[in-house]
Amino acid sequence: MQASLRLIPAISLVALCAHAQYTPSAGQNAPAAAYDMVRDEKTGSVSLRKAEATKAVSRDGHGNARGNQYDLAVDGAFDGQTVLILDQVGNTLVNTRAALKEKGLSSVVYSSGATPSPADLRKALEKSCELWLISSSTPLLNDEHIALIKAFFDAGHGVYIWGDNDPYYVDANRVASALVPGLRMEGNLAGNAVVNIADGRDAKVGLRAGHLITTGLEHLYEGVTIATVQFTPAHGRTEALYDGEGGSARSPKLPEGFTPLLYGSAGNLVTVAYEKDGKRLLMDGGFTRLAVSWDDAGTARYVKNAASWLVHAEKFKNTVATRVTLAK
């Protein structure tokens, strides 16, 4: 049985966030105050202490706040929990797994060419708090796999669907449409840029301000070549998502429950968060940033924040995923 969530000791001298797993900077792209992170050498537990009023928040070379104390979650917050990753592509996940570990999240990876059987997927999901799918260009999941993922999602456990430039979103689209009808991705647009916070004047390029997942992020690397999130059934190739010309397809109307997290430099919707009816989902058209130019700007923090949000501690309280029971 999965270990229950270990809460981090109370944060010193600050007003606690509503959830003890989160830092005082939760939801702030630019932290309002400086904090010091203190680790107990005997227990390994972490606490945060508000720094002297005159101390400024340190910045890294990209302009983001420096230090894990400005992530969404405290280090070690989800000790004993497991992220299940179906990696159909085979790009390196060394940095991704190390980043997850900082928050206490272990990871189990089914690598490219080793898709689990439905029976093995069921067992793995029952021991996991969230699922990531990194999609390839060929269908590797069958209907039974997808039904199990839907049951996991419907129970309130987080799912992250990663795709990339056409055609690297085959199973991504199959799973997405099963979880939220109409959700898919399409296209192949050049990226390879660092985007900033959307400023209101150019709202279709940049990061969402004030979302828990963008905590501590004012700059983020978008990926190399990327797909665009869509919300309508596919009716052939949508040229605006491939060529150099823009169009409304790049910034589709968002249905209820969806929040845009990242509009890429081509004005295309790269990443969305879904939160409705007690369910959480992320869909992302730029899996290259997990392997290419890691942390060119903010990738490590983004990965940690996304995983922390998908744990859905607000719903599962102190138990998170003690055990998920999927219907036969």
Q: What is the DSSP string of 42-61?
A: TT--EEEEEPPTTPPPPB-T
Question: Confidence class of residue 157 from pLDDT cuts 50, 70 and 90?
Answer: very high
Please state, rounded to an integer, the average pLDDT across all residues of the chain: 88
Residue listed under structure tokens 């390839």: 136
Question: Confidence class of residue 52 from pLDDT cuts 50, 70 and 90?
Answer: confident
In the chain, the domains with their CATH numbers are 82-316 (3.40.50.880)
Positive or negative, the CA dihedral 179, 280, 187, 252 is positive
Contact 231, 252 (CB under 8 A): yes
Whether residue 291 is predicted with pLDDT greater than 70 in this model: the reply is: yes
Quote the Cα angle for 211-187-85, to 5°: 55
Q: Give, in order, the Cα–Cα distances in Å from 162 to each of 24, 179, 270.
A: 29, 14, 10
**Half-sphere exposure (CA, 13 Å, Cβ side) for 309?**
25
Positive or negative, the CA dihedral 139, 159, 273, 176 is positive
Quote the Cα angle for 188-193-198, to 5°: 100
Question: Confidence class of residue 324 from pLDDT cuts 50, 70 and 90?
Answer: very low
Question: Confidence class of residue 85 from pLDDT cuts 50, 70 and 90?
Answer: very high
Strand, coil or helix: what is 26?
coil
User: CA-CA distance, 184 to 125, in Å (whole number)?
Assistant: 23
User: CA-CA distance, 144 to 167, in Å (whole number)?
Assistant: 23
Contact 86, 133 (CB under 8 A): yes
Quote the Cα angle for 86-179-104, to 5°: 45
- The better pLDDT of the pair 20, 165 is held by 165
Which region among 161-165, 248-252, 275-279 has the lowest average model confidence (pLDDT)?
248-252
Whether residue 325 is predicted with pLDDT greater than 70 in this model: the reply is: no
Question: How large is the angle between the packed helices 143-154 and 170-179, nearest 10 degrees?
Answer: 50
Structure tokens at 72: 């969404």
Whether residue 257 is predicted with pLDDT greater than 80 in this model: the reply is: yes
Residue type for position 119: A
Q: Give, in order, the Cα–Cα distances in Å from 217 to each of 17, 31, 136, 235.
A: 19, 9, 28, 36
- The better pLDDT of the pair 187, 10 is held by 187
- The better pLDDT of the pair 20, 115 is held by 115
Residue listed under structure tokens 């049985």: 1
Contact 228, 249 (CB under 8 A): yes
pLDDT of the residue at 296 = 86
CB atoms within 10 A of CB 32: 8
